[in-house]
Amino acid sequence: MVAPKDMRDVARRESVVGWRRDETWLDDELVWLGEPGVALFETHAPSFWKLTAEALEAKIPDGLVESRRRRADRRRRRSARRARAAALMVGPAMALTLAGPRPSGAARPTKVLPEDPPSQTLRVRPTERERSVGARPEPVERTDEPFPTIRWARADSHGLPYAGRLSSGTALPVDGPDWVTWNPVADEVPNRSHRLYGHERTIRAVLAVSAAYAAANPHAPRIVVGDISFRHGGPMELHHSHQNGLDVDVYYPRQDGVERAPVAGRQIDRALAQDLLERFLAVGADVIFVGYSLGLVGPSDRVVPYPNHADHMHVRFTLPPD
């Protein structure tokens, strides 16, 4: 028989730990999973039931790192959904297009574009006569001048178009029977000769295209060539590239026949612009950057719509392998 004092002790223990006479309590000195000497398969925990040894030994991912990665992915998806293409007019002939998602399958992979913008906004200003309502400047008459002398040199193009230099370049004459040059800094014809140095491949391509274009379009104005590179290459104002003699800007032909840069989209002769683009592709241009709204077409990996090219095409050549 249990003494009253012992019964009081039993009741006190029951009220504290919830012990019942018909319950069995395990020893509280059990070791935990992961302690030395404890085998994983001896736990018989439901979480590990029927798992393979490879699955049990696999590294458990860090929950905090995975959570941060998922949140970052969600933020990127939301940003991509909100992004929309927009255009901000910055001049009479320029449209600065803000970045937006490119539709699937559209034009060339853009690995060169973020790091290598071909050029900045050019400062093209209309003349007083062009600003007047309904004014159409008269076409410039071609003259039968002798072909200018060209001092050919065996050039070396070093580095990249946007991080390079040029040695022993050849200068394109400021004008010729089939071309004229345009100075984008002063907005005038002709360009400065020290801005027209290029690799021999670039200069020969410009001469070949201008001659073929003139023969096929006898009533069209001469092609208008912009910047190529400095004498020794390197950084050039108004451009991020044009540093190693393999880039050349060519302005779209104008409907009014004026041999200068167009200042409005309505001035551009799109048929002649397409003809000019195809001729540069035929002589081996690697890529041609063009304006968005002109509708110029070509191989998607070689004809690339790009901001700030509403008045000119940026033609880039590469050197053949040795």
Decide: 194 and 234 in contact? Cβ < 8 Å.
Answer: no
CATH 3.10.180.10 for domain 90-96+109-126+157-316: no
pTM, two decimal places: 0.60
Q: Which two tokens stand for residue 195?
A: 């801005």
Q: What is the per-residue pLDDT for 147?
A: 87
Which of 249, 276, 301, 310 lies closest to 112 in space, CA to CA? Answer: 301
Domain boundaries, the chain: 90-96+109-126+157-316
Q: What is the per-residue pLDDT for 76?
A: 72
- Four-point Cα dihedral 218, 219, 220, 224, nearest 10: 70
Q: What is the per-residue pLDDT for 192?
A: 96
- Tokens 């509403």 — which residue? 310
Q: What is the per-residue pLDDT for 71?
A: 74
* H/E stretch holding 275: helix 270-282
Q: What is the per-residue pLDDT for 75?
A: 72
Q: How far apart are CA 206 and CA 200, in angstroms?
A: 10
**Ordered DSSP codes for 61-103:** PPHHHHHHHHHHHHHHHHHHHH---EEEE-SSS-EEEEP-PPP
Q: What is the mean pLDDT of each run of 10 residues along the chain (322 residues)?
A: 55 52 52 47 45 59 66 71 41 36 40 53 46 45 75 95 96 97 95 97 97 96 97 94 97 96 95 98 97 94 95 94 70
Contacts of 273 (CB under 8 A, 6+ apart): 252, 253, 294, 296, 313
Give Cα separations from 193 to 209, 226, 230 (angstroms): 20, 11, 9
Contacts of 243 (CB under 8 A, 6+ apart): 159, 160, 161, 162, 163, 164, 165, 166, 229, 233, 234, 235, 236
User: Does residue 114 have a cis peptide bond before it, meaning omega lies within 30 degrees of 0?
Assistant: no
Beta bridge pairs of residue 198: 170
**Distance, C-alpha 14 to centroid of its chain:** 76
- Tokens 């393999």 — which residue? 246
Q: What is the per-residue pLDDT for 141?
A: 56
